[in-house]
Chains A and B, each alone.
Chain A
Amino acid sequence: MIQYIIRRLLLMLPTLAGITLLVFSVMAMAPGGIGANLMTRGGDMRPEERAAMVAYLNQRYGLDQPMSVQYLRWLNNVLPIGYTSTPSGEREFGFKQPDLGMSFVKNRPVLDLVADALPITLLLNALTVPFVFIGSIMMGVYTARFRGQALDVGIGTANLALWSIPTIWMGVMLIGFFASEQYLKWFPTSGLESMRADSWTFLPTHTPDGWQHGYLLDLLWHMVLPVICLTYSGFAFLTKLTRSAVLENLSADYARTARAKGASAQVVLWRHVFRNSLLPLITVAASILPGLLVGSVIVESIFSIDGMGKLVVEAVQMRDRELVLSITLITGMLTLFSYLLMDICYALADPRVSYE
């Protein structure tokens, strides 16, 4: 198993290099190249100031060098092993601090920007995933149990319809009906916190000026619509999968044996059949995670939430090279790690699976 994990981790390296190289090439081949946006700024500068800025940018990012050199420089910067230049101008090879660079446009370290944005996206997804799984497992098990009856048909049709509703439409409709001035104004339209939420206590409290609902409730209140938006489309796929797995196991020999020895229907369903039906769910959970990241791009721009998704859109719109490359690297790594994690879980859940 250890050997397998190490092999998978090593295989990630060429894949990540390939992804970043592709994104880098797209940016490099664009008309004007990577630096075009930087060079056009500062139109009111005097010629010598402008020349100084160009020289500084060239020195810092190597924008005057060939694209292949620029990519290798970036790769050298982000790797934990590589060349570092000492103050005396010599180059040393060895371990070093990985450096994701500075955002061209925002003038802040990329790591800071990501550290601000990533927890928000992870929080949204951490709330979404349990809802999706619990909801679709319950629906899947009961549609299999009452197969062919009204419940089964009803849930099946509803899920198919929900699955086809595009997230952009769902988001706009939710805001329109539950957050706009014309209709119900139950939820906020954008952001994750109210204006003065910073000064509030974490939990709901009584203050001299009256009831104050606190930071936590405020956050949850803001997250209702985005989480609904991220959740609903996942139901159809997972419910169908659970349903077919449970159906297959319900007619298996061991389920009949369990019934024959006198186990109640509930015990057979939940203790015997359900546990054995979990395997396919674990494998597909991996394929859901990248989808959730894409989903956050849409949901975060609909609800103006400052997460990774919004950062991605901003980065590409500003043509911010360092930010785009770093986000490519980070999301690529998250995706590949989630695949690996699911493969390990699969082996842990099913003793018959072995990667030796």
Chain B
Amino acid sequence: MSEANMPTPVRSEETFSARVMRQTWASLGARFGLGWVAVVALSAVFAPFLANSHPLLMKADGTWTSPLFIHLTFIDVTLLAGFAAVVAGWMLRRRLSGSQALLVFLITVAVAATAGSQLLNPPQAVIFDQYRTGLAAGTIEQAVFVPIPYSPTDRSRDNPLSLSAPDRGHLMGTDEDGADVFSRMIHACRIALGIGLVSTGIALAIGILYGGIMGFFTGWVEILMMRFLEIFESIPQLFLLLTVVAFFGRNIYLIMAVIGLTSWPGFARYLRAEFLKLRQQDFVQAAQAAGLPISSILFRHMLPNGVAPLLVSASFSIATAILAEAVLSFLGLGVVDEPSWGGMLNQAVGPGGTFAIWLATYPGLAIFLTVFAYNLIGEALRDAIDPNLQQKAH
């Protein structure tokens, strides 16, 4: 065939990922979901600047200080740096490739975390009510507070108000320790955001590695790995989570790890099914014939073609992880002394049959909206990635 007779290749104007992003964004549900996740993320990053007992600026003995900045922890700083890196990456998105952006993000977070933990030294013992009593007594001349002048663990010892209904001072009321519910709601966004992203990240990493190997090799390797996967699938996640937390202590990183380590089998199964299909295709056989190393075939050639369905189930998996943490906190086995939506919900019904409706509505609504948001994003992604599924469902 001469060159003139060659059919001109059909080129799509947009890439696959661009099309998926456009179609996902076109769905109303996904827009709502992303909007709510953005609200949660912003609250998590800027929590100390939204709700804090420490004044932003304070004038005492004639000098201005900023107790808020003195009390920033390395987690606050790391989150802020990570947020700055994401914003910078978004502004430079035309200059940087995906892997470069990821590298920059990881380096920024790592530097901020190490520098923060070395350099920052917030006082260990904190008296939250010193500012309010100081202002009243006149030892503090002036103070500028952030919008909600209560820290999540500020039990207002100067004016104890346990389980008081919402009013002007506490917009969402107080909990049974007298802490401000609105402040706790905002700070609890950190756990909700972190638990979903970190545990799903762990599960994705294990699932991709395991599923990729299982989908590429056949024979006894696959049989053995499948058996092992079935064992992991039969373990009730909540049960293992309860056991680990009861025996090892209530640590947020541990909870993240356990949720991640128990939710990978779904990802592995999906990827295996995709790889079984891909293995037969010409480009994989060509790569094999060219003598590429197996890791390159698996993760450089096959993975990008089989990763799309994983994104869908990752979105649903984030929702499940958030729910699992909420249930754990609700059962009284969550993180100690850190605000969590599930733990607040647990206080709504008192032992004597009393009902604090503000402690049921706000945290419950927050869990509901977050889970709903990730489910909506997942559905929109699925419709965009697999149009066949969409036609079948209607």
Contact = CB atoms under 8 A, between A and B. Distances in A.
A335 interface: yes
B79 to A, nearest CB: 25
Contacts of B346: 168
B45 interface: no
Contacts of B235: 19, 22-23, 332
Band of interface residues on B: 35 or more
B371 interface: yes
Interface string B232-243: 001111111011
Interface in B318-336: 323, 326-327, 330-331, 333
Given A166-B371, A181-B355, A294 B234 contact: no
A172 B364 contact: yes
Interface in A3-55: 11, 14-15, 18-19, 22-23, 26-27, 30-31
B126 interface: no
Given A180-B353, A313-B331, A169 B238 contact: no
Interface stretch (A70-78, A202-210, A212-220, A316-324): A316-324
Contact of A172 (B237, B243, B360, B392): B360
A336 interface: yes
B294 to A, nearest CB: 28
A175 interface: yes
A276 interface: no
A301 B355 contact: no
Residue among B242, B246, B249 having the largest count of chain A Cβ atoms under 10 Å:
B246
Given A31-B248, A176-B357, A316 B242 contact: yes
Q: Is the interface of B mostly helix, strand, loop or mixed?
A: helix
A169 B239 CA distance: 20
A335 B345 CA distance: 30
Nearest to A33: B247
A169 B371 CA distance: 12
Nearest to A248: B392
Contacts of A244: 392-393
A189 interface: yes
Contact of A183 (B240, B323, B352, B355): B355
A183 B348 CA distance: 14
B355 A175 contact: yes
A293 B237 CA distance: 11
A166 B242 CA distance: 18
A26 B247 contact: yes
Given A169-B360, A172-B360, A313-B331, A27 B368 contact: no
B364 A173 contact: yes
Contact of B348 (A176, A189, A301): A176
A6 to B, nearest CB: 17
A15 to B, nearest CB: 5
Contacts of A19: 231, 234-235
Residue among A166, A173, A297, A331 having the largest count of chain B Cβ atoms under 10 Å:
A166
28 contacts: A14-B231, A15-B231, A23-B235, A26-B240, A30-B248, A31-B249, A164-B372, A166-B371, A167-B327, A168-B346, A169-B364, A172-B345, A175-B355, A176-B357, A176-B360, A180-B354, A180-B355, A182-B354, A240-B393, A293-B236, A294-B238, A297-B238, A298-B331, A301-B331, A316-B245, A324-B243, A332-B234, A335-B236
Nearest 8 A-B pairs (CB), nearest first?
Answer: A169-B364, A30-B247, A180-B355, A18-B231, A176-B355, A316-B246, A164-B372, A316-B242
